[in-house]
Amino acid sequence: KQEVTQIPAALSVPEGENLVLNCSFTDSAIYNLQWFRQDPGKGLTSLLLIQSSQREQTSGRLNASLDKSSGRSTLYIAASQPGDSATYLCAVYRDDKIIFGKGTRLHILP
Amino acid sequence: DTAVSQTPKYLVTQMGNDKSIKCEQNLGHDTMYWYKQDSKKFLKIMFSYNNKELIINETVPNRFSPKSPDKAHLNLHINSLELGDSAVYFCASSQAGVGIEAFFGQGTRLTVV
């Protein structure tokens, strides 16, 4: 059974710092891995989608990596800003399911 | 145009009532999903439909009955609502295959009082 774990559950960092969010999954047979952000009381915003054959994707200050063999993905946020404060969710695609981690609540301190 | 749209956005109802949440996608995707996000913000899959056929039912109570009249719609009907059903419900759609992104609706916040 596929399980997705995100560590840490919560993170506070000063504005301007670079940071890394971690995601691990137990079954490496995935199609894609996707990172989302969710603001309080809001829906899901897709950040980056990494195909199973890819190792990383970049969008602006965000870089997501994927290592299928070790069952890990990281989301790197450069030069963090207060507007980056949100919950970040990792999700893996397998068969007919998209399985989510429990998220990391990120707080950027002004 | 909104890719995946859910209605209503908010729903407040009393225990014991029956309610429906509608979902429509205009992406031409074959697969649609319902997810429940509980008070701890954990998103858990409830159902998955592919071309109107039920693929996954993640041990959801029988009071929850999804209905897919066509592959662009997946509605969620809930009978005899309970306090524990209060949550945010997200609809999503995707197409099988590597690199195909799933799209999520904005969610329906259900409050049972």
Q: How far apart are CA A82 and CA A107, in angstroms?
A: 7
Mean pLDDT, residues A75-80 taken together: 97
A43 touches chain B (CB under 8 A): yes
CA distance A52 to chain B (A): 7
Instruction: Express each pLDDT in A25-72 by its tens digit.
Output: 998 888 899 999 999 888 899 999 998 889 999 999 999 999 999 999
Specify the pLDDT at position B97.
67
Contact criterion met (CB < 8 Å) for B45 and A97: yes
A2 touches chain B (CB under 8 A): no
Tokens of B94: 């995707």
A31 touches chain B (CB under 8 A): yes
Nearest CA in chain B to A96: B48
Nearest CA in chain A to B6: A43
Specify the pLDDT at position A100.
94
Residue numbers in B near A102 (CB within 8 A): 40-42
Is pLDDT above 70 for A16? yes
Specify the pLDDT at position B1.
66
CA distance B77 to chain A (A): 21
Is pLDDT above 80 for B73? yes
Measuring CA to CA, which residue among A22, A8, A27 is closest to residue A94? A27
Rg of chain A taking only CA atoms, in angstroms: 13
